[in-house]
Structure 1
Amino acid sequence: MRLNGLGDAIERHDYPTSSTDFAQHYGDEVIELQNGQETVAEILARLGNETYTCPQDVRDALFTGVGHEAIGRRYYSDRDPSPFGEDGPQMLSF
């Protein structure tokens, strides 16, 4: 996930601030994701109305609120063992 220069704006913004206020200022900013992009307004809308007391709160909200386009292969894990009594997927090496 790339903040595309939004990091500086997050630092400069006045705190405390609400998610609504932050979205009014920076809602049109685009966040680049691994499999697409989303605007700040789209991400913050998923989280409801919050109050952010510092820049790290906003960063945490953005990293937490992104959609599934921010991850690689959905539902993939090479660390989960198959349950006892079940045959798991065939091993595949990339």
Structure 2
Amino acid sequence: MQFMADVGEKLDAHSYPATTTELIEAYGEMEFDTDDTESLGEVLGRLGEETYQDSEGARLAALSAVGEGAIGRKGYSDRDAPTVGENSEADLLSF
């Protein structure tokens, strides 16, 4: 996701510790390129007021709070066990 590379550069250059409010004021207008366009300010705003000690913490917080438009196929996992009644042998696909 190019957005996270761009935001990562900005967050790396920011001075820490930094609060959610400070990061939103500095970079809140940056938008995620997802099905549902949302800004970094909206994403961080979901988490409430926090103090981040470094850019890694801020980046992980942003990634953890993105909306459904950023996750691809909702509920998809190629690691889930088959549910009751499914033929597990026929549905297996190996790469």
| Interval of TM-score (by shorter of Structure 1 and Structure 2) | 0.7 to 0.9
Give ranges in structure 1 of 5+ residues lacking alignment.
none
Inter-partner Cα distance in structure 2 for 1:22 and 1:65: 15
Is the partner of 1:30 in helix, strand or coil?
A: coil
The structure that is strand-richer by fraction is 1
Say whether the 8 Å CA contact 1:31–1:37 is kept in structure 2. yes
Q: How does 1:1-94 map to 2 (within 5 A)?
A: 1=1, 2-3=3-4, 5-33=6-34, 35-83=35-83, 86-88=84-86, 91=91
Q: Does structure 2 retain, via aligned residues, the 8 Å contact 1:30–1:38? A: yes
> What is the total number of aligned residue pairs between the two structures?
90
Structure 2: state its 5+ residue gaps: none
Farther off after superposition, 6-15 or 56-65: 6-15
Root mean square deviation of aligned Cα = 2.2
Q: What's the secondary structure of 2:38's corresponding residue?
A: strand
Structure 1 length normalisation: TM-score?
0.79
Cα distance change of structure 1 residues 77 and 4 upon mapping to structure 2, 3 Å threshold:
closer
C-alpha distance in structure 1 between counterparts of 2:31 and 2:5, whole Å: 7
After superposing on structure 2, the runs of 4+ consecutive aligned residues of structure 1 that deviate more than 6 Å are none
Displacement of 1:10 after TM fit? 0.7
- % of aligned pairs identical? 34
Q: Which has the higher helix share?
A: 2
